[in-house]
A and B are shown apart, each in its own frame.
Chain A
Amino acid sequence: MTETDTAWIDAALSSARPQAVGALLRYFRNLDTAEEAFQNACLRALKTWPQNGPPRDPAAWLIMVGRNVAIDEVRRARRQEPLPDDDHAISDLGDAEDEIAERLDGSHYRDDILRLMFICCHPELPPTQQIALALRIVSGLSVKQIARAFLVSEAAMEQRITRAKARVADANVPFETPGAVERSERLAAVAAMIYLIFNEGYSASGDTAEIRKPLCEEAIRLARLLLRLFPSEPEIMGLTALLLLQHARTEARFDADGSLILLEDQDRSLWNQKLIAEGLALIDKAMRHRRSGPYQIQAAIAALHARAAKPEDTDWKQIDLLYGALEVIQPSPVVTLNRAVAVSKVRGAEAALEMIEPLAPRLANYFHFFGVRGAFLMQLGRAEEARVAFDRAIALANTSAEAAHIRMHLDRLMRDSEPKGKKAGK
């Protein structure tokens, strides 16, 4: 077997995984049994596919084999029978596959995958556990890979996942086909979880950025999967577009030392135009539905940045309006803070500063609040106040790259203010 020969099997197995595990979960109603059945089916696939070629429908094959092996095992455990040989267990698979492929139509698969994802984002689980569980169960990443992305030991991650599984096992998610309302609730919860996975990767910086980048890619893969299941949901189009547009800037977001590069300082030729094209196509399509939502608005903002060839081409007026719309649907001090940046470009730093002052009590421990506040004060030439804000930001920085970025502002401030006292740093 050459490397490329097994590469197609790996790709086929991971692409069939959500569908197969989802269906097996419906049969067995137990996550561990479903996962084990899938693992066993994969082992059979690795043994038989290289000789026989891929089955017509890999997911249906895996479901069928996984189910049979698991049922055999239950029987064997019950009767203490000797092991049947492998070939016997899957001898008449050809006919059976046709049958099962016909019975399981698209809508079945759709609810299976949605249920599988939904189980991972049970409200009782803290977000970090939701993400870990989804990466393990839906994406099939190894515990080691997930532990690496979360910067914890393998043992700690193993324990976290085991605990999360035990918790959802008691959660009693119904296995009947969900109704329309329930389905849309599940969809919203799953979309939020995918957004969280992406954020985990996107917020990383410095030496961890490269390690955590796969989280962004996995989130995009899951968003695309969800979009294929629900091709007419504008918010899922918006979510997918948002992730694609943000991820398109990856190569331009950090310098050689891993320090953050702000949007206006980025080398825009490093932006991935293919991802941008797909993101723009999706958000265009979503807007046609005239059913706006938070993901679509965020994607529309990202699209305005993506469409600007140079920073000065950015349509800040429109961005201000979009943040205004987002504030109405999803009021949050963080949204207002982001809007203030757009306001500073349209109406100046004075107006922007006024806008964020009322947020101070609620964002007293938020790194970006002090970073943005410091930048506005700096623009207004209030160097001493800016220095205080930047000092506070450094104290709250989550990563060394964030701290380094603020320190750069401080250095500039010191340089500008030393010789002539007060001077507007721009």
Chain B
Amino acid sequence: MLYAILCYHDEDFVGSWSKEQDAAVMKKLAVVQEKLAKQGRLGPVARLLPTTAATTLRKDEPPLVLDGPYAETKEQLLGFYLIDCKNLDEALDVAKELGAANPGGAYEIRPVGMFAPGGALK
């Protein structure tokens, strides 16, 4: 089964990292990602731009466009992973490993109902 690991963290906090701190975290995460990729279990990984760059479209009639992310929360969705796991326990193990590389914040683990990989992006 495919699982999405959605990464939530306080944007203020992550945003106050220095370039070096940020690079150090990314390096630690890359180690975990590489391991998953070798096992053929790692799908797309995305890191999102800050929520200040986000726009929300409410699908009401007429559609309403709002500045900013969908929900005003303390922790924002900052990125996600798509991984292949046998079950939730396995997905949780992966999330724990990622969490050890980058402590703080929270991961939401969601089974994926439909996945269309699409073509290669240019």
Contacts and interface: CB of A to CB of B under 8 A. Distances in A.
A231 interface: yes
Contacts of A16: 12
B16 A224 contact: no
Given A57-B74, A231-B67, A232-B68, A282 B52 contact: yes
Contact of B13 (A12, A237, A278, A281): A12
Given A12-B13, A14-B16, A221-B16, A278 B53 contact: yes
B72 interface: yes
Contact of B15 (A15, A231, A285): A15
A7 B103 CA distance: 12
B116 interface: no
B49 A232 contact: no
Interface string B8-24: 00111101110001001
Chain A CB count within 10 A is highest, among B10, B12, B51, for B12
B47 to A, nearest CB: 10
Contacts of A240: 52
B37 interface: no
B67 A285 contact: yes
Given A57-B74, A227-B52, A282-B52, A232 B67 contact: yes
Contact of A15 (B13, B51, B55, B67): B13
A285 B21 CA distance: 30
A11 interface: yes
* Contact residues of B: prevailing secondary structure: mixed
Interface string B58-75: 000000011110001010
B100 to A, nearest CB: 12
A228 interface: yes
Q: How large is the interface on B (under 10, 10 to 19, 20 to 34, 35 or more residues)?
A: 20 to 34
Nearest to B51: A228
Given A7-B21, A228-B52, A278-B50, A288 B65 contact: yes
A199 B10 CA distance: 29
Contact of B49 (A221, A237, A277, A288): A277
A232 B67 CA distance: 6
Given A57-B74, A106-B72, A11 B53 contact: no
A288 B24 CA distance: 37
Contacts of B24: 4
A288 B10 CA distance: 28
A281 B16 contact: no
A281 B49 CA distance: 9
A28 interface: no
B40 to A, nearest CB: 29
A282 B52 CA distance: 8
A50 to B, nearest CB: 13
B16 A231 contact: no
B67 to A, nearest CB: 5
A8 interface: yes
Contacts of B104: 8, 54
Interface string A215-247: 000000100110110011000010010000000
A282 B10 CA distance: 20
A84 B10 CA distance: 35
B52 A11 contact: no
Nearest to A232: B67
A224 B13 contact: no
Interface of A: 4, 7-8, 11-12, 14-16, 54, 57, 106, 221, 224-225, 227-228, 231-232, 237, 240, 274, 277-278, 281-282, 285, 288
23 contacts: A4-B24, A8-B13, A8-B103, A11-B17, A12-B13, A15-B10, A15-B13, A15-B15, A15-B16, A16-B12, A57-B74, A224-B15, A224-B50, A225-B12, A228-B11, A232-B67, A232-B68, A237-B52, A240-B52, A274-B49, A277-B49, A278-B49, A285-B53
Interface of B: 10-13, 15-17, 21, 24, 49-53, 55, 65-68, 72, 74, 103-104
Given A16-B12, A277-B49, A278-B53, 11 more contacts: A11-B13, A57-B74, A221-B15, A228-B11, A231-B67, A231-B68, A232-B67, A237-B67, A282-B53, A285-B55, A285-B67
